[in-house]
Amino acid sequence: MTTIINGKKVSQKIREELKEECEEIKKQGIIPKLAVIMVGDNPASKVYVRNKNKACQEIGIEYEEYFLKSEITQEKLIELIEDLNNRKDINGILLQSPIPNHLDINEAFRKISPEKDVDGFHPANVGKLILNQDTFVSCTPYGIMKLFAEYNIDLNGKHVVILGRSNIVGKPLIACCLNRNATVTVCHSKTENLEEHTKKADILIVAIGKANFVKKEMIKDGAVIIDVGINRTDEGKLTGDVDFENVKDVAGYITPVPGGVGPMTIAMLMNNVIKAARLQNKNN
Ligand code: NDP
């Protein structure tokens, strides 16, 4: 019997716990606050930003957003980041990607203070993750780890195959899985004989951005399938990177799209903002 992993339900539970935690720390005078920067008017980003605002409101996290014109210069963007770094009332800073091509996103991520880097993209935080030290873990990989914990899926000694090596999903996942004693294989667009790898996976995590790419012939019976992909079909329907309808008959566990990994990403962002607020107020 296949278990459909319910990310929506798990994320709601986490959000309720965070709401209580937020009320608790407010009693100690800690008011968590997130600043979100968006450059240009990418429609998908607008939806993501709106959802982040909603989640903050629900949990009790204060929220500020900066919508910058797409023509903004790198200097002005960095100036804003530095202002936010210097503000005591802001605990977390998030730069929504993508940003226009004339801007250097890596420099911008580097300028966000590591203590306020709630997305976990700063090289210092990525380094700590690789060294298995406490840090801000990038939200999607962190959300996936929470799903494993919630469904008692133990990574110890398991063969995890990751499709995709992006800085925000695939690469941090390597460290997250390795830190839990998995044996990790990473595949990407240049990988030869992909199916030979995917078929060996006890746990297959797919983050490539190609609708219904993973077919049931590509997986081992009973494997855990985590689908990170968010794609829109011509009819406007959301779909993952995994051919859910067919793969679900073979998998042991599988995440749906929507309602799997997506809601976990926002929940873990909220978690990171509260963590940042706590850490920044530790010695007060
Ligand atoms: P990127 O486009 O940054 O990276 C895609 C990765 O997939 C690359 O490493 C690329 O390889 C690899 N790839 C592409 N085609 C193939 C292929 N045919 N076989 C094997 N590997 C391939 O994507 P992201 O990591 O940012 O996002 C991936 C997906 O996850 C997207 O659909 C995105 O919308 C979604 N997403 C969902 C989130 C959520 O909260 N659920 C959060 C973030 C992303 P190469 O490096 O060689 O180019």
Task: For residue range 53-63, list pLDDT tens digits in order.
Answer: 999 999 999 99
Cα angle for residues 87, 89, 92 (degrees, 5° grid): 85
Mean pLDDT of 220-228: 98
- 119 is annotated as an active-site residue: yes
Cβ proximity of 22 and 30 under 8 Å: no
Average pLDDT, stretch 139-143? 98
**Nearest CA among 159, 137, 163 for reference residue 226:** 163
Extents of the domains making up the chain? 28-114, 139-261
Pick the catalytic residue from 33, 116, 117, 119: 119
Q: How does the average pLDDT of the chain come out, rounded?
A: 97
Nearest residue (by CA) to ligand 1, atom 5, is 208
pTM above 0.95, yes or no: yes
What's CA 250's distance to the chain center, in Å? Answer: 26
pLDDT range class, residue 11, cuts 50, 70, 90: very high
Which of 203, 258, 221 has the alpha carbon at shortest distance from 47? 258
**Cα angle value 173/176/178 (rounded, 5°):** 105
Two structure tokens written together for 206: 């797919």
Q: Which of 162, 166, 213, 238 to mutate to test the pocket of ligand 1 (most atoms within 8 A of CB)?
A: 166
Q: Map tokens 């049931």 to a residue.
A: 216
Nearest to 39 by CA among 83, 80, 72: 72
Active site residue 83: no
Topology adopted by domain 139-261: Rossmann fold (3.40.50)
CB contact at 8 A, 134 and 114: no
Cα 124–chain centre separation = 17
- Tell how strand 183-187 and strand 159-163 pair up: parallel
Q: What is the pLDDT of residue 46?
A: 95
Residue tagged 């300028």 (tokens): 111
Kindly give the distance from the C-alpha atom of residue 276 to the centroid of ligand 1, in angstroms, as a whole number.
Answer: 28
Catalytic residue among 52, 116, 128, 146: 52
- Angstrom distances, CA of residue 145 to CA of 127, 155, 163, 179: 18, 10, 16, 11
Q: Which of 202, 150, 197 is nearest to 181 (CA)?
A: 202
Mean pLDDT, range 202-217, rounded to an integer: 98
Locate 72 and state its tokens. 């903004």
Mean pLDDT for 191-203 is 98
The architecture that CATH gives domain 28-114 is 3-Layer(aba) Sandwich (3.40)
Number of residues assigned to the chain = 284
Topology match between the domains 28-114 and 139-261: yes
Q: What amino acid is encoded at 67 in this protein?
A: F
Cis preceding linkage at 256, omega within 30: no
Whether 186 has a pLDDT exceeding 90, the answer reads: yes
- Annotated active-site residue 52? The verdict is yes
| Sign of the torsion formed by the C-alpha atoms of 184, 189, 192 and 197 | positive
Give the atom of ligand 1 at the shortest distance from the alpha carbon of 188.
21
Compute, in angstroms, the gap from residue 209 CA to the centroid of ligand 1: 5
Dig out the tokens for 115 from the structure.
């203590």
Selecting among 33, 96, 158, 171, the annotated active-site residue is 96
Q: Is 27 in the pocket of ligand 1 (CB under 6 A)?
A: no
29 CA → ligand 1 middle, Å: 41
Q: What is the pLDDT of residue 284?
A: 65
- Over range 167-196, report the average pLDDT: 98
Whether 111 shows a pLDDT value over 70: the answer reads yes
For ligand 1, atom 16: residue with the closest CA: 189
Three-state DSSP class for 203? strand
**Which one, of 265, 194, 203, lies nearest residue 229 by Cα?**
265
